[in-house]
Structure 1
Amino acid sequence: MVLSLVSLCASEVVSDHSSSPCWLRWVPRELYRPLLEAAFSSSRPLAVGELVQRWPERSLRVGGRRKRGETPPNRLCIQALLLAIVRGLSDQRSVLHVLDLSGLQGDEGSVGDPMGGWSLTVALCTMVVQARTGAKRAQKKEGERDRKRFLVLQRDADVKRERGHRVNAKSEEELMRGVRRRMEMDRQSEGSPGNEGGTRTDSDDRDIDVLVHVRADLFVNARSWDRVRAALNTHGPLKLQCRFLRVEEISVSSIKTLLDLLPHRGLLGIDVRYSSLGVAGLAELLPLLSTFPALTTLRLHYCNLDFRRDLPGQDETLRDLSQGLTKLHQLKCLSLTALRLPGQLRVLLSSLPQPLEILELPYLSLSPADLAYLSCSHHASTLQQLDLSENRLEESTLPSIRRLLSQASSSLQHLSLSGCGLTDHLLALLLPSLGCCIALKSLALALNPLSMAGLMDLVRTVVRMPNLRQLLYPNPLEDYQPGLPDLPSSAQLLDWPLDQMTEINTTSIQLNRVLMDNGRSNLLLTCDLLNYDKDLID
């Protein structure tokens, strides 16, 4: 990445914190952004704090989609940012009104010590509650000043009367009445029923104005549940708004409580993981989700959905589920992982009123009927991302897959068929359809039992796809140690050791030679399953 002259100068400026009093007061507002970016990239938390506290615009956006090779801000810089926001609440010069931290979180423990989703959520909720406590403390001090002012006014009036001076009784009375009214409101707020222990009351809500709206993605599990609930219940100078909600190992009733606390116009997506929703639980949640008009994303991972018609009342529950899905009018992304619903894909997808753009169905044991429906559904021609990983494909299901790819050929940008049991023969039948996907930018085919010959055929096909930028290819069978079955599963390919006697770079060299011969230096070939990320394509 080539840095601009402004970026290089900004990095030099923020590198010396001792000089900040000299230059900070003279910085024009258009240079605050490059200085803040330089402070984050150089891990200068003191500079981050000073820039944020003096931020000259009404909105501040930190986070969002990162470019390839760009690391998220580290933990100390994020903590400095949050502290600066709280300090700025009492600064009359502060004009900041919206703080957007959506997409800021990184992976816990990765390079650079970024703040993960759970840690960021806890820090944000603590900041919101502490800001309200500080506002109440300042409000109490203001009340004390009002009481003292009232006593002084009353004493001065008495002295003037005793000395026989003429006083403007009307103006004095109006001034004292206004001070007395504020004092009475403070007493009612402090002594109202249910306010013991600092819980919120209607009087508190009236007294504290929202100064900064904080938009963020929230990660809620059993450990952060109480803090998140307290922060969303808090009315103070900071108001927390959730853009994407991720919950893990939380009951249906707790998820419902959480949804009731969220502002309905801000939520864009919900991600539920490792929670035993069941079909009935999901049907219970869907009416609540329909009240969020901007909801475009629904992800359910390992949520114990079991579609078996032999269960009592299952048909009625499926009808409730289908009816609930019809109300998600803005849904564009549906992701379902490891849910037991073979043969029931039509129940889910046919109920959605709008065609999907992103559909992720890994580990679903999709049946031939599911794939046949998908290839003819109203979603097929609008799909931009499709993930069918770990759904075993056979020759009987390939016509449906080819039909699906044909329908999506002009829109599909990201496709994953990893772990689908594609042999050389099956891949050869599929390659013509893959080659017709003219908009495809990334293709994942890891953990498929391909030989070196099949892999070379794959690469010769993808180099003719002009928009493709990434290919996640499987290690060829020749690279593994002896002993693999004739048709190994994806789990066996993942666990089986590679042959140490084989030259590690031999496969890579042969594949890259095909790229060079076809002038495709802009196509990345990788077999690194753990670090593959389709979202890093510019």
Structure 2
Amino acid sequence: MSVHTPPRLVDLAGMRLLRDNDLDFSTLESLPIELFPPLFLEAFHGRRVETLKAMVQTWPFVRLPVGALIDPPHVGPLQAMLEALDALLAQKVRSRRCKLRVLDLRNTGQNFWSMWSGASSYGCSSSRMAQVTEPRSMTKQHLAPLKVFIDLCLKEKTLDNFLTYFLWWVEQRKSSIHLCCKKLKIISMPMDNIVKILSMVQLGCIQEMQVSCTWNLSTLATFAPFLGEMCNLQRLVLFPIHVSAFKKQEEHHIVQITSQFLKLGHLRDLHLESPSFLEGHLDQMLRCLKSPLDSLSIISCWLTESDLTHLCQSPDVSQLKSLDLSGVTMTDFKPELLQVLLEKVAATMQELDFDMCGITDSQLEAFLPALSRCSQLRSFSLCGNLLSTAGMEKLLRHTAVLPCLRQERYPAPQETYRPWGVLLEARLAQLRAQLLEILRDLGRPRIIWISLSPCPRCDEAVCHHMEPIIYSCPAPA
């Protein structure tokens, strides 16, 4: 005999109320607070437009998190909510019941809905109720700008129906809406459209930004003033920027761009991919950083030896936890430079990536003592560099003392290739056996990945398809 969980009284009451399509304000004004979330969910998914409008205008919580509920092809429920907000914003004094201050259109809030619908273990105790409601002194709220939170992804050509309608709505109500975007992603959109949209956003709210456009330097310089207004930006990811052929113009644009970093006092994570404008100018950007970085990536870029020297000397890299210089060719740089850099970050470094840097045995040998003092290092990658078998052995012995190191990716030594880069498979198998023997000799469990360059399967610069070399200590007798 199967046992069915009987519906809760709250659910039964909600279903009873929804049978009446004309829920009026007087009913909602006296409705128990715990009925609002499940009733709202039923009205939203059932597209009961008039009920939604009435509920928004009497919403008894400070925040209404609907991002996880929106189905972009169907903007009817969203339009109903925005129409209700129009009526709410037009009121000089809001209703006694309404506490709404924040409309959250991000894909968050699942805990809120599950807590009040009984789908989780949160329960609806009076103490939890107090965490999401306003004090009684706030019952009469004079009109103030409504905060609307959204994560924006600006794509090429057209926006989806939901975002197009929403941005139109915000544009008509700039004075009464504060549009807050913590995460901004720009993917190949015309600059005119970007400028129009960003003029509606409270730029000081942005904490993470990714630009994936193939802009030229002048376009990035046009965008730079917006970047400077993002005073709370913590993470910046910038993809390829093409340098124009006019050197004097380039210098002017570079100053326009790097000077904006003076205003980014909270920046902690900086990722620049193919930033060709930095060659010979890295010191300009480093001088403008206001505080130490946690993470720095400068990849697939030509830098000068002077650039790397400035990086080693910058106080803003002294607390780095993650450093990625993949694709920055250092073959002809002084071996001591990487040693100085690693000595500076030895106390904090956790992730280190020097893939495809043209690092040679002499450079490796120079920085190995500093590397062995990076006691917090968890991940280290040297794929695609020019190391010998002897250099690999020294590397394994120096990194054996690092207690936190769990992910190690190294290049196949030069002896495994013919002079024209043809792989010697028998020699590679012999090398793997040799490295496993070294791991046994060191006596510490480790997993080592050896990568070929280029990958024989997909012809990528670095191969990630190889089987790892695994050494596990034998169990005690």
Would the TM-score normalized by the shorter structure come out above 0.5? yes
Aligned mate of 2:166, from 207, 231, 241: 231
Q: Tell me what 2:235 maps to.
A: 297
TM-score by length of 2: 0.64
Letter in 2 for 1:446: C
- Output aligned runs, 1:197-276, within 5 Å: 206=90, 212-215=103-106, 217-223=151-157, 225=159, 227=161, 228-234=163-169, 242-264=181-203, 266-276=205-215
Tell me the TM-score normalised to structure 1 length: 0.57
- Residue 255 of structure 2 aligns to which amino acid in structure 1? R
CA distance in 2, matches of 1:428, 1:87: 70
Partner of 2:444: 520
In the aligned structure 2, how far is the partner of 1:22 from the partner of 1:409?
A: 58
CA distance in 1 between counterparts of 2:293 and 2:389 reads 36
**C-alpha contact (below 8 Å) 2:326/2:355 kept by paired residues:** yes
Q: Output the CA distance in 2 between the equivalents of 1:448 and 1:261.
A: 47
User: Are the aligned partners of 2:156 and 2:190 in contact in 1 as well (CA < 8 Å)?
Assistant: no
Aligned-residue offset at 1:270: 1.0
Q: Unaligned regions of 5+ residues in structure 1, if any? A: 1-18, 28-52, 59-79, 102-119, 140-200, 486-495, 533-538
In structure 2, what is the Cα distance between the partners aligned to 1:452 and 1:85?
Answer: 67
Once the two structures are superposed, residues 140-164 of structure 1 have per-residue CA deviations (whole angstroms, 9 ceiling, x without a partner) of xxxxxxxxxxxxxxxxxxxxxxxxx
- Residue identity in the other structure for 2:420: L
The Cα shift of 1:255 comes to: 2.6
In 2, the alpha carbon distance for the partners of 1:276 and 1:437 equals 37
Equivalent residue number for residue 269 of structure 2: 333
Give the equivalent residue in structure 2 for 1:318: 254
Query: Which residue number corresponds to residue 471 of structure 1?
Result: 408
> Which of these residues, 275, 281, 287, is aligned with residue 219 of structure 2?
281
Which residue number in structure 2 is paired with residue 132 of structure 1? 78
The runs of 5 or more residues in structure 2 that have no matched partner are 11-34, 92-97, 108-150, 452-462, 467-477
The answer on whether the counterparts of 1:215 and 1:243 sit within 8 Å (CA) in structure 2 is no
Q: Once the two structures are aligned, what percentage of the paired residues are identical?
A: 24
| CA distance in structure 2 between the aligned counterparts of 1:320 and 1:457, rounded to whole angstroms | 45
Equivalent residue letter for 1:410: A
Distance in 2 separating the partners of 1:303 and 1:326: 21
Whether the 8 Å contact between 1:299 and 1:334 is mirrored in structure 2 is: yes
**Equivalent of residue 363 in structure 2, options 426, 429, 442:** 426
After the TM superposition, which residues 25-64 of structure 1 pair with which residues of structure 2 at under 5 Å, given as runs?
25=8
Which residue type is aligned with residue 254 of structure 2? L
Q: Aligned pair in 2 of structure 1 residues 418, 256: CA closer, same or farther (>3 Å)?
A: same
Q: Which has more helix, going by share of residues?
A: 1
CA contact (8 A) 1:252 1:277 kept: no
2:373 corresponds to which of 436, 443, 453: 436
Q: Give the number of the structure with larger relative contact order, counting CA–CA contacts within 8 Å between residues 6 or more apart.
A: 1
Which one-letter code corresponds to 2:196 in the other structure?
A: T
Q: In 1, distance between residues paired with 2:407 and 2:340?
A: 23
SS at match of 1:471: strand
* Deviation of the 1:442 alpha carbon: 1.0
Q: CA RMSD in A?
A: 4.3
Q: Residue 372 of structure 1 is aligned with which of 305, 309, 324?
A: 309
TM-aligned CA distance change 1:455 to 1:265, over 3 Å: same
Q: Give 1:313 deviation, angstroms.
A: 3.7
Equivalence map 1:357-368=2 (5 Å): 357-368=294-305
Counterpart mapping for 1:430-509 below 5 A: 430-480=367-417, 482-484=418-420, 498-501=423-426, 507-509=431-433
Q: Which residue of 2 aligns with 1:97?
A: 64
**1:373-427: per-residue Cα shift (whole Å, max 9, x none)?**
1111122312221111111113543222211111111122111110011223332
Distance in 1 of aligned mates of 2:427 and 2:398: 26
Distance 1:324 1:264, change over 3 A: closer
Structure 2 equivalent of residue 391 of structure 1: 328
**In 2: Cα distance, 1:439 partner to 1:270 partner:** 28
Work out whether residues 405 and 433 of structure 1, in 8 Å CA contact, stay in contact via their aligned partners in 2. Answer: yes
**C-alpha deviation, 1:219, in angstroms:** 3.5
Name the SS of the counterpart of 2:394 in structure 1. helix
1:256 counterpart letter in structure 2: V
* Structure-2 separation of matches of 1:471 and 1:258: 44
Partner SS state of residue 411, structure 2:
coil
For residues 336-347 of structure 1, what are the structure 2 equivalents within 5 Å? 336-341=272-277, 342-347=279-284
Deviation at 1:336, TM superposition (A): 1.3
Structure 2 CA distance for partners of 1:507 and 1:212, relative to 1, 3 Å: farther
Question: Which whole-Å CA distance do the structure 2 matches of 1:390 and 1:254 have between them?
Answer: 33
Distance 1:373 1:136, change over 3 A: closer
**Hey, what's the Cα distance between the residues in 1 that align with 2:194 and 2:274?**
20
